[in-house]
Amino acid sequence: MIGLSSYLVLAALVFSIGLFGVLTRRNAVGILLGIELMLNAVNINLVAFARFHGDLTGLIFTLFTIAITVVEVAVGLAIVIAIFRVWRTVDADRLDLLRG
């Protein structure tokens, strides 16, 4: 029986995989891909809850999340491009200007 828990577990799995990607990728764009997966998982969660509790709010929330995610990706990639122009690299290991 595919209940709410199945979807939630699925979302949790995708979230963890996305987190793994964020933690291990060296390329900045790769990290952003991981973030995408995490946000996706969140969306699945929201829609599942909305469906199983009969509440519209979750769906609205999902729409907004998608829109905001798009904006975030755009700006993030713009930053990556700007960094690339100056540093000629997008290796996350080399971007450590905030080092203490």
Partner 1 sequence: MTVETVGFWLVAAVLLGSSLAVVLTPNLFHAVLYLAAALVATGAVFLLLDQPFLFAVQLLLYAGGVVTIVVFAIMLTERLVGERIRQTSRHLINGAIVAAAVFAGIAGFLLQAPPAGPRPEQTGDVTASIGRALVGPFAVTFELLGVLLVAGLIGALYFARSEE
Partner 2 sequence: MDLSLLLPLLVPAMPFAAFVILAIVPPIRRTGRGAGALSIAAIAVSFVAAVIVWHSGFVGERTWGWIPADGGPIATVGVMVDPISNAMLVLVTLVSLLVQIYSLAYLSNERPGALGRYYTYQSLFVFSMLGLVLAPGFLQMFVFWELVGLCSYLLIGFWYDRPAAARAAVKAFWITKLGDLGFIIGIVLLWSATGTFEFSELFERAEANTLAVPGLAVIMFLIYLGAVGKSAQFPLHVWLPDAMEGPTPVSALIHAATMVTAGVFLVTRAEPLFALVPEVMAVIAWVGAFTALLAATMACVEGDIKRVLAYSTVSQLGYMMAAAGAGATPAGFLHLLTHGLFKALLFLAAGAVIHAVGTNDMFRMGGLFRAMPHTAIVFLIGTLALAGVPPLAGFYSKEAVLGGVWQAHLTGPFLMLALTALLTAFYMFRAVFLTFFGRAHAGGHPHEAPWLMRGPLWLLAVLTVVAGIRLAMSGAEAHEATPGWLPPFSVGLALFGFVLALAMYQRGVIDPARVARALAPLDYLARRRYGLDALYAGLYRGLILGFSRVIGWIDRYFVDGILNALTALTLRAGDSLRHIQTGRAQDYVYGVAFGVLLLFVWAQLWRR
SS3 labels along the chain: CCCHHHHHHHHHHHHHHHHHHHHHCCEHHHHHHHHHHHHHHHHHHHHHHHHHHCCCHHHHHHHHHHHHHHHHHHHHHHHHHHHHHHHCCCEHHHCCCCCC
Of 41-49, 54-62, 64-72, 88-96, the segment contacting partner 2 by CB under 8 A is 88-96
Which residues make up the interface to partner 1 (CB under 8 A)? Answer: 1-10, 12-21, 23-30, 32-34, 36-37, 40, 43-44, 47-48, 51-52, 54, 56, 59-60, 62-64, 66-75, 77-82, 84-85, 90, 93
68 binds, among partner 1, partner 2, none (CB under 5 to 8 A by kind): partner 1
Q: How many residues bind partner 2 (CB under 8 A)?
A: 13
